[in-house]
Amino acid sequence: MSEKLYPVSMTVNGTLRTAEVPSRLTLVDFLRDTLRLTGTHVGCEHGICGACSVILDGAPVRSCLMYAVQLDGCSVTTIEGLTRPDGTPSVLQDAFCEAHGLQCGYCTPGMIVASHALLESNPSPSEAEIRDAIGGNLCRCTGYQQIVDAVQLAAENIAKGAK
């Protein structure tokens, strides 16, 4: 039996994307399976792990906790949209590499989205503020310390004028 499809049209990383989707398709499945933007990871699928974090109209949210059909007319930025315009890694992404802010990499897109949103609103966060901002993102490899180091390094580099 074919399922009813709903039209949806949203801006993803600056490009207008239009599709017809089942109502129960989550945003993360829409990004990964329909748009083939597989940078956003899907972990627990019920809002605990934070791996699927994306930026919706400027604020970080969990993309497994909303249905794509709800976002008609909205603007979403995924990890793919956070690089420099030429596609090379951003200051924050470079800092994750330099400070060993990742091991297996599964949580990394969510960590970078959460940290990016933090640095946008607070360019020189304290360690406690960084830990609070990534408090909703689980990492089972790093023990978090290098992730905090990476965000601090990125903040320092941005303060020195890195773009």
- Nearest residue (CB) to another protein, 61 versus 158: 61
d(C-alpha 151, C-alpha 145), whole Å = 10
Minimum distance, C-beta of residue 65 to another protein, in the bound complex (Å): 4
- Nearest residue (CB) to another protein, 70 versus 124: 70
d(C-alpha 141, C-alpha 144), whole Å = 8
Residues that bind another protein (CB under 8 A): 3-4, 6, 22-26, 29, 33-34, 45-47, 50, 53, 56, 59-62, 64-67, 69-70, 72, 114, 117, 132-133, 135-137
Minimum distance, C-beta of residue 149 to another protein, in the bound complex (Å): 20
CA dihedral 42, 46, 48, 49 (to 10 degrees): -10
d(C-alpha 130, C-alpha 149), whole Å = 9
- Nearest residue (CB) to another protein, 45 versus 98: 45
d(C-alpha 159, C-alpha 36), whole Å = 35
Task: Say if residues 82 and 116 touch (Cβ distance below 8 Å).
Answer: yes
Kindly report the CA angle at 72 between 69 and 76, in degrees rounded to 5?
100
- Nearest residue (CB) to another protein, 10 versus 64: 64
Minimum distance, C-beta of residue 67 to another protein, in the bound complex (Å): 7
Minimum distance, C-beta of residue 51 to another protein, in the bound complex (Å): 11
